[in-house]
Amino acid sequence: MASILNPYINFRTQAREAMDFYQSVFGGTLQQSTFAESGMSQDPSDADLIMHSQLTTDSGFTLMAADVPAHMELKEGTQISVSLSGDDETQLSGYYEKLADGGSVLQPLSKAPWGDSFGMLVDRFGVQWLVNIAGSGPSA
């Protein structure tokens, strides 16, 4: 799989509704998983919130979204991140390291509970980046 660059939108509780709407606009295949389904629910009120949603269209669009649980901050300017994903560990790890230079690491690139490697950072310009490497990468 080639690497993919796409927007990742954060919501407080409307990710499911928003992504259903975007699917009605753009068509395509929508995959959604809740915090409970992923074993990531820290509070019972988070259980049915969307931990990750991905819309992939026949036109080649990819849009991702998630709900931010109440115990995590969601402030203006942080609703949209840029996501890099794929299976080329060398390429994506390199992007992660270069983007982190002069920025702030929010989540070191490491093995995630869903089996991929995942990292999150804010670059030197204040842009939040998510990097997900399918099924490989550094161990936690």
Q: What angle do CA 80, 34, 55 make, to 5 degrees?
A: 50
What is the rounded average pLDDT of the residues 64-77?
Answer: 85
CB 62 within 8 A of CB 28: no
pLDDT band at 140 (very low <50, low <70, confident <90, very high): very low
Q: pLDDT tens across 78-112, in order? A: 688 899 999 999 999 999 999 999 999 999 999 99
Please report the pLDDT score of residue 77 as a whole number: 65
Mean pLDDT computed over every residue of the chain: 89
Please report the pLDDT score of residue 137 as a whole number: 47
% of the chain exceeding 90 in pLDDT? 60
pLDDT higher than 60, residue 121:
yes
- Of 131, 4, 15, which is closest to residue 60 (Cα–Cα)? 4
Which residues, listed in sequence order, are joined to residue 11 by a DSSP beta bridge?
A: 67
For the entire predicted model, the pTM comes to 0.70
CB 81 within 8 A of CB 130: yes
CB 57 within 8 A of CB 26: yes
pLDDT higher than 70, residue 53:
yes
Q: pLDDT tens across 1-24, in order? A: 788 889 999 988 989 999 998 999
Q: What is the DSSP letter of 83?
A: E
CA distances from 39 to 7, 74, 112, 134 (A): 25, 22, 12, 19
Please report the pLDDT score of residue 29 as a whole number: 98
pLDDT higher than 70, residue 130:
yes
Q: Is 116 exposed, middle or buried (0-12, 13-18, 19+ CB in 10 A)?
A: middle
Please report the pLDDT score of residue 21 as a whole number: 87
